[in-house]
Amino acid sequence: MPLHVSQHPLVAHKLAILRDKTTEPKKFRELVRELTWLLGYEAMADLTTRPVQIETPLEPMTAASMEPRVGLIPILRAGLGMVDAMLELLPTSEVWHIGLYRDERTLKPVEYYNKLPDAATVQVCLVLDPMLATGGSAAATIDILKAWGAARVKQVSLIAAPEGVRTLGDAHPDVDVHVAALDSHLNERGYIVPGLGDAGDRQFGTFAGPGSEPGHGPDDETAEVVRRLQRDLER
């Protein structure tokens, strides 16, 4: 599975502000949008084009038009903040939503919303999710898209953990992953460290207080799932 970690200095700069715990939700949303734009630009560098005939104010010429139809699949809810930036780059993209939540005890994804049409209407799907943590939600989403008929899938995330990269790579070695940073590890609650906390809560201002802060109060079953992922990574 090709993993692409952006080396762009603008990405590094904006990610540093995004991580800062003092960054308020409005600024956080703006940074998610800006980072998505930059990562999306890099993620689509290998898409094919076809020749088209146009006329400039001076003369006719052969230009290039992007060939594949692209679908955007934001993972609810945190992925919603990445959609507008991608639509600026690809205004003709189709947007389809898949809702998954992570069971806090098992860390496994549970599907609760899926409005894909009966058959694939695009050739390339970009899965949008700010955090690639355990990799379970990403792998489950791509399972759904491949069963739907998607010919090619890419994952675009802001931050990834090695455990999530390993899980996704084992399940879907053909999927390109584009991220702004590859962080150190998951903590016992399955949050990326150093990370930035819960991307959905920070975008939408739903932080519930110190008791819900990432890293507080893991139960034994959740901690065991994370340890298993980390043992798999070390093999």
- Range among 13-17, 110-114, 138-142 with highest mean pLDDT value: 13-17
Catalytic-role residue among 106, 121, 143, 176? 106
| The model scores a pTM over 0.75 | yes
Q: Of 168, 98, 151, 157, nearest to 128 (Cα)?
A: 157
Domains of the chain: 3-48+63-234 (3.40.50.2020)
Whether 189 is a known active-site residue: answer no
Mean pLDDT, rounded, of the chain: 87
Residue 230 has pLDDT above 80, yes or no: no
**Which tens digit of pLDDT belongs to each residue from 112-125?**
888 888 888 899 99
What is the Cα gyration radius of the chain? 19
Percent of the chain scored above 70 by pLDDT?
A: 86
pLDDT of residue 158: 97
Whether 212 has a pLDDT exceeding 50, the answer reads no
Q: Using pLDDT thresholds of 50, 70 and 90, give the confidence band for residue 48.
A: very high
Q: pLDDT at residue 102 above 80? A: no
| Confidence at 108, pLDDT banded by 50, 70, 90 | confident
> What are the distances in angstroms from CA 87 to CA 34, 84, 158?
12, 5, 17
Distance between CA 62 and CA 233 in Å, rounded? 49
Quote the pLDDT of residue 153. Answer: 96
Q: Would you say residue 211 has pLDDT above 80?
A: no
Q: What is the pLDDT of residue 99?
A: 84
What's the pLDDT at 75?
Answer: 87
Catalytic residue among 102, 121, 143, 152, which?
102
**Confidence bin at 213 (pLDDT 50/70/90):** very low
pLDDT at 27 exceeding the cut of 90? yes
Q: Does residue 198 have an active-site annotation?
A: yes
202 with 185: CB under 8 angstroms?
Answer: no
183 carries an active-site annotation: no
2 pLDDT higher than 60 = yes
Please report the sign of the dihedral spanned by the C-alpha atoms of residue 147, residue 150, residue 151, residue 152. negative
